[in-house]
Amino acid sequence: MTAALPPIRDARDSDSQPLAALIAASFAEYPDCLFEWAEFPELRAPATHFAVKGGRLWVADAPGGSIAGSLGVVPVPEQNAVEIFKVYADPAFRGSGLAQALFARALAFAEAGRFAEMMLWSDSRFARGHRFYEKLGFVRWPGERYLADVSATWEYHFRKALTDRPLAGHRP
């Protein structure tokens, strides 16, 4: 018998500290991957940040006031796409279906907006996350980007087609 998933809800600005704690703990799992508050100004008011961009951020509540997982989405109309952000899960909830449930919210958002694809950037060190994205149908695109942050992060780009409508940069 599987345990019930923690409740998923829209993020609030008051989730700032527990969301930062989740991200910092996730970063700590990887060598030289450091969490620096100054590099994440959006975490000061996470719900407002996503709402202003026309997006949504969902979190799953964990016992004790912490956050078990998160996932955000923002429209990128010029590419007829949505971009996924803040995909994190506490290790205690990995493999539980929580990440898939969070992703389902983003997929519903994208489909309701009739976007043709989803995309995301992921730290090159996050191999477990890359396998998750590929399981969901994302494909790693050529090229990388360097963030010049405290962790000297390189990111990979992933995309997932949602419809048979033309993808960004392609004409019928």
* 166 inside domain: no
Q: Is residue 112 part of a domain?
A: yes
Q: Pick from 126, 8, 28, 135: which is nearest to 69 by CA?
A: 8
pLDDT 10s digit of each residue in the chain, 172 long?
356 889 999 999 999 999 999 999 999 999 999 999 999 999 999 999 999 999 999 999 998 889 999 999 999 999 999 999 999 999 999 989 999 999 999 999 999 999 999 999 999 999 999 999 999 999 999 989 999 999 999 999 999 999 765 444 443 3
Residue 72 domain-assigned (yes or no): yes
In-domain check, residue 45? yes
CA 83 to chain centre: 8
Q: Is residue 153 part of a domain?
A: no
Residue 151 lies in a domain: no
Q: Which domain covers residue 24, as residue numbers? A: 8-118
156 domain residue, yes or no: no
What total number of domains does the chain contain? 1
pTM score, whole prediction = 0.91
The CATH number of whichever domain residue 80 belongs to comes to: 3.40.630.30
